[in-house]
Structures are given as structure tokens and as C-alpha cells.
Amino acid sequence: MTSVQGLKGTRDFYPKEMNELNLIFNVWKAAARKFNYQEFDGPMLEPAGLWTLKSGAEIPEQMYCFEDKGGKKIAVRPELTPTLARMVAAKQKELQKPIKWFSIARCWRYEAPQSGRLREFFQMNVDCLGAESMMADAEVIATAVEIMKSFGCTENDFYVRLNNRKLIASLILGAGVEKSKLQEVSRVIDKKDKLSEKDFILTLKDLNVKQEAIDNILVMLKSQIADIKEEKLDESGKKGYRELMELIGWLNAYNIFKYCKIDFTIMRGFDYYTSTVFEVFDKSGEFRAIAGGGRYDDLVSDFGGEKCPGVGYGMGDVVLGLFLKKLNKMPAANPEVDYYVAPVNQAVVKQAVEIAGKLRKKANVEMDLAGKSLKKQFEYADSIGAKKIVIVGEKDLKERKVTIRDMKSGNEEKVDLNSL
């Protein structure tokens, strides 16, 4: 006899929790399918090298890594994007473009479990590869908005914060930050939401960013897109600015710009983003990002493929679930039980099994397995929400009939066995 508990930061999905998870999965799938994204998946374990290249510093630190019995370095996937890039690179010539794929990926990260962050989670990934136009970025964002709307959320509940990596890099440099410090400063800006303004300034000072540049950054981060003077930007910054303006045009066409807000503090942690970056947040500011993504035009070539533009995002189930529960928008649905077949006594159980078998051709049917009394069977059928009870009795059977009781109306009718 032993008693073992599941690992910290994991969840056991009992039927109730599994139903909720499936509801989220179903909304994710339906939203992606509306835009004709195709489902794909890769293995849960991958060569660890897949994440050391381009995921940024955080991810490899949080990976579950080990050597298998053959001495190979293995990672339990912490995210799906490198797998996507690997798969696209492997069949790049055969795949019809644009590649519009989605996946519900089970992932693991070794972090301190806390609200909205678990060690095991599911992440919806929506990606579009092979399309350069900002129309693709808008479509991908539209699928995220579609998911939120499908749960009944409105522009009062959530919004999409948008930025452009080229533009923000140009703005940071324009603020007076040296080029060699661009990546480090970007990472500090990425963490700005979690820091006080004082700590934010101190962290930049630790990087030897000059006071004047810090002051400029603080003003810049609060500025609006209308404040940007295109002519003051470097070439890459001009490109980023035009991309962002073009994206806004498409977001209006998709009728979702009302859900969006330009926000120069949105950086995203991954190094592979090259252009658009975005995050979905609840408006109350209570939760971490519900989703995050962006454009990664070099990712496929980083994994051995030919250069191929791409844009996509991930949306985890944990923060989304907390958010939906807080808004009372997590639908509570139990799977359907169409019939409960109840033999009146043990002498007719085998006939009842046959009747249940007939009904199962078109319905979900429950039966007692433990010799319960008719009364107990009725109580049980009621407790599981069965729609109808089929009462199988000796007298009825002699006339080749059963009695069917509608649980909602309480009405009973005798039905011929042949007409079931």
C-alpha cells in the first residue's frame, strides 16, 4: 500500500475539470476552423537543442531537460513554435502556402507554481507562414479575438496590446541608448509591468544607460502612435512604422481594431520576433497575458529551412480559465446521457442489455452494473441528467413493449420494441 500525489504545478482532470478543458479546446478549434486553420501537432519530447537557439534566455532555464537511455539530450517541450519551424523546414517545398496551422500543445515549464502559472499547461498555437502582408497578422489576431468573443467576452473585458519590434528598436535607439545595449534594454522594457517606475529606472541605470536616455525612454513608452515622427526614425524604424500603420488598416477591415491598443511597452520575451508583437490582456489588469505572439520572419531559416515569413501566437488554458471563471463565462456543460435503461428486476437485466445495445446505435445510453433497485436506478438516472428512462419489465416484455419516461415532463408512454 502506498500513497502517491501528483507533481506540484500539475492538475488532475476529473470529469468535471476535463469537461471545462474540452469546452476551451472546442472554442479554440472552432475559432481556428472559421479561418480555415488546419490542426497539427509534434512530439511532446524533442531534442533539447531546439530551444537553445532562438527562444530567449528564459525558456531554456525553465525547460525539463534530461538524457535518455541512449545519451541524447531531451526536452519536454516548453512551447511549440520551434517544433513548428522544424516541421515546416522539413517539408517546406511540398507544403502549400500560406501554411495556416493551429495546435493545442501540452507543454511543461519548471517555474514556481502561482496564480495563472502552472508547470503543465495547454497552449493554443495559431500560426500563418508564407504570407508577408500585414493582412496575415490581422487575421491571426482576428482568430484570438474570435476566441474571446466566442466565450461571450466583449471589448469591456479584454483588449489586444500591439507593438512593432522594428519600430520600438528604432525608438529605443532614438532615445539615446547605445546599439550594444538594445537587447538588454528591450528585456527590461518587457518586464516593465512587473516593476515599479523606481525599480525600472534603477535597472536601466545598472545597465549604464544614461539619465537622459532613461528620461527619453519614459516619455517614449507613454507616447501615442500619433506622436511618432516618421522622418526621425532610422530606415528599419520607418519600415516598422509603416508595418504598424498597415496593420491598423487591416485590423479595421477585420472590424477588430476596437479591441486593440498600441502599446510601446509590449516586447514579448522570445528573441525570434522581427516585426508585429501583441498580447491579449484582461481589462481589469488582474491577470497575466491571456495570449501573446508576433511576426517571426527568420524563424524557419533559423531551423534550416529557406526564409519564410510567419506570424502566430500562443494562448494558454490556465490564465484564460481563471479569467473566464472570474467573468462567469466558463460554460458548465455535462456530456449528454440520452437514455437510462432500467430493468425492474434481475430477471430482465439481459433483455435490458439488448435494448440498451439497440439504442446505442443512435444514442448515449447508461445502465446499472451493480444490481441496484428500481428506485435507486431512478435516483441515479436523475443525478446524471439522463433525458429519458426506459423501464424494462416482465409484463411489458411479454407484449414486446417497454415504458419510456421523459425525465423533464414526467410523461410515460409504452413503446413497441421494434420501433426503438
H or E, element range at 247 = helix 235-253
Q: Does 35 bind its own copies (CB under 8 A)?
A: yes
To 10 degrees, what angle do helices 165-174 and 182-190 make?
A: 110
Residue 366 burial (CB count, 10 A): 18
Q: Does 139 bind its own copies (CB under 8 A)?
A: yes
Q: Does 374 bind its own copies (CB under 8 A)?
A: no
CB of 321 to its own copies, least distance (A): 15
Q: Does 114 bind its own copies (CB under 8 A)?
A: no
Size of site (CB under 8 A) for its own copies:
97
How, if at all, do strands 120-129 and 310-316 pair? antiparallel
CB of 16 to its own copies, least distance (A): 9
Place of cell 549604464: 208
Nearer to its own copies, 255 or 284 (CB): 255
Q: Does 246 bind its own copies (CB under 8 A)?
A: no
Residues 249-308 close enough to bind its own copies by CB under 8 A: 249-250, 252-255, 301-304
Selected from 27, 93, 117, 130, the binder of its own copies by CB under 8 A is 130
Q: Does 2 bind its own copies (CB under 8 A)?
A: yes
Q: Which residues of 97-130 are buried (b: 16+ CB within 10 A; e: fewer)?
A: ebbbbbbbbebbbeeeeeebebbbbbbbbbbbbb
Question: Cβ(141)–Cβ(154) under 8 Å?
Answer: no
Q: Does 36 bind its own copies (CB under 8 A)?
A: yes
Nearer to its own copies, 91 or 205 (CB): 91
Partner residues linked to 127 by β-bridges: 101, 312
Residues 159-178 close enough to bind its own copies by CB under 8 A: none
Selected from 93, 180, 208, 369, the binder of its own copies by CB under 8 A is 369
CB of 95 to its own copies, least distance (A): 8
Cell output for 414: 409504452
Nearer to its own copies, 69 or 179 (CB): 69
Cell output for 172: 529605443
Selected from 59, 124, 131, 188, the binder of its own copies by CB under 8 A is 131
Q: Does 391 bind its own copies (CB under 8 A)?
A: no
Question: Cβ(365)–Cβ(339) under 8 Å?
Answer: yes
Alpha-carbon distances of 326 from 156, 282, 306, rounded to whole Å: 14, 11, 45
Triad 134, 138, 140: Cα angle to 5°: 115
Sign, CA torsion 314/150/332/334: negative
Instruction: Give 98's DSSP letter.
Output: S
Q: Does 418 bind its own copies (CB under 8 A)?
A: no
Nearer to its own copies, 86 or 405 (CB): 86
Nearer to its own copies, 234 or 246 (CB): 246
Selected from 26, 97, 373, 414, the binder of its own copies by CB under 8 A is 97
Selected from 205, 230, 232, 371, the binder of its own copies by CB under 8 A is 371
Coil vs helix vs strand at 56: coil
Point out which span in 100-108, 230-238, 239-247, 277-285 binds its own copies (CB under 8 A). Answer: 100-108
Selected from 26, 57, 72, 205, the binder of its own copies by CB under 8 A is 72
Triad 400, 404, 407: Cα angle to 5°: 170
Nearer to its own copies, 91 or 414 (CB): 91
How, if at all, do strands 310-316 and 339-343 pair? unpaired
Q: Does 57 bind its own copies (CB under 8 A)?
A: no
